[in-house]
Amino acid sequence: MEDGKVRLLQYLGTALVVVSVAVHLWWGLPRFLIYARPQTLAFYLQSGGVPDPRPFLFMGMVVAIVIVGMAVWRGLVEDRTVYAVLLILMLGSIVGWMLWHTILNHGVALTSSNAAATEGHQGSVVSTLFTHFVTVPLEGGTKLVELAAVLVFGVLLRVTPRTTKTDR
C-alpha cells in the first residue's frame, strides 16, 4: 500500500481512538472519582458490595492508550505493535459492552445492586444488543467508532510488513 494511504489510515485510526477515549473519559472519570474515594471504597468493603466496575475499566483503557501514545511519540514501539494493541483495546471495549448488556445483565452479576438492570431482556442476544445500540445513540455511535478502529488497525496490520531486529 502507498505511504500516503497508510498515513491516512494511521490518522483515521488515531482520530477514531481519540473519539472512543473522549467518550470513555467523559462517562468514566466522574464515576471513577466518586468510587475511588476512600469513604466510598470503605462503604463497599463494609457492606460486602462491589461498585460498578466500568469506571475503573474505562480509566484503565484510557491510561493504556495514553501510555501507547507516549511510547509512539518517543519512538519506543514499532507500528505493528501499536496497531495490535489498539485493535485489542477497541475490540475489548466492544466485547465488554456486549457482555455487560447480555451475560452480565448490566452488572447485576458483579455489583451489589440491581439498579443497573433498568430494562428486561426479551429475545435473542442480537435483539438485546440491537435495542441497546439504537436506544442509547452515544453507545451505538461509540461502538461504531470502535468497530471502524478495529477495521482500520486490522488493515494496517495486514499491509505493514513485519520487521526483524536487523531491519531497524
For residues 54 and 58, give the distance between their C-alpha atoms in angstroms, rounded to a whole number: 6
Check pLDDT > 70 for residue 112.
Answer: no
Q: What is the pLDDT of residues 38-86, one digit of tens each?
A: 998 888 888 877 788 899 999 999 999 999 999 999 999 999 999 999 9
Q: What is the percent of the chain with per-residue pLDDT over 90, rounded to a whole number?
A: 55
Segment (H or E) for 28: helix 3-35
For residues 151 and 144, give the distance between their C-alpha atoms in angstroms, rounded to a whole number: 11
Per-residue model confidence (pLDDT) at position 165 = 53
pTM of the model: 0.84
